[in-house]
Amino acid sequence: MEHILGNDWIITSAGGSTGEAYYAQGERKRLFLKRNSSPFIAVLSAQGIVPKLVWTKRLENGDVITAQEWLEGRELTSEEMRHPKVAMLLSKIHHSTELYDMFVRIDKDPIQPYQVYQNCINQLNELIKSIEVKKALDWIETMLPMVENNTIQQVVCHCDMNHNNWLLSEDGQLYLIDWDNAKIGDPAIDIGMILYNYIPENEWDQWLESYGINGDQELLNRMYWYLFIEMINKHEEVTKQHKYKEAAQFQQELQRLLSRVIGC
C-alpha cells in the first residue's frame, strides 16, 4: 500500500479474515483502505450506508483499492442492536432501489430457496445426522413452497447481521459495513438474524414497527426457514473440522429453535 500513498503515510493492518484491509495515517488525513472491496461501495457511500468513499484506484494487476473516511467510532454492542436506528437503517437498505439496481447490473444472482435447500442437503454427512437436524430438515422441506413464493419482494440483503458490522461514529451516525457477502434475497434473511440473535421476543413487534412493517406468521416462518438452514450449515462445518464442542452448542441452539417453531 505504501507505493500507492507515498512514504508520508503510516499504514497498518486493519485485521479481518482476508487481510486485505488497512488503516492509513497521513499528516492531515486518515483513511480506511481495502483491496477489491464491494463494487457497489460508491452507491453505499452516496446513500450514507457506509463511511464516505474518498477515491478508488485500479492497479496494474487488476486489483481495485478503495479509500474511505476513517471515522472515530465503535461497533455496536449486542444490547444496542435493539435500538430503532438499527431497524430504520436496515429498512432503508432493503428499500433502496438504487442499491438493488446496482446489484442487478453486476449480475448478482438472487438467493434461490430450492438451491439453498439442496446445497444444505448435499453437504450433510448422513452417518452423523442428528435427530435435531432431521426434524429441522423435515420442517424446511415442508415450508419450502411458502418460502419460494414469487410474490415476496426481493431486496439487497447484507447477510451478516453480526453486531460487529454496525459502526456508530462519534457524531452519532450509524453505518453498516463489510458487504462482501451481500446478495439479493428475502428481507427475512437479515430481519431474522437480528430478531432471533439480539431482540427479546416481546420486543419483536416494536422493532418491526421501527423497520416499517407488521410482523405476521408468514414472515416468522420465512425467518425461521433461513435460520434453520444457517444453523445446520454451521453445525456441519464445525463437525467436519472436529470442533465437537462448537458442534454441540449449535445442536443445542437448533433444539431451542425447534422448540420455539414446532414445539419439540
- Catalytic machinery residues: 160
3-state secondary structure of 150: coil
Task: Give counts: helices (H), strands (E), the chain.
Answer: 10, 10
CA gap 234, 141 in Å, rounded: 19
Count of CB atoms situated within 10 Å of the CB of 194: 22
From residue 118, give the alpha-carbon distance in Å to each of 52, 111, 137, 192, 219. Answer: 39, 12, 11, 21, 22
Locus of grid cell 419450502: 144
Packed helices 217-240 and 188-198: angle between N→C axes, nearest 10 degrees: 80
CA gap 56, 40 in Å, rounded: 12
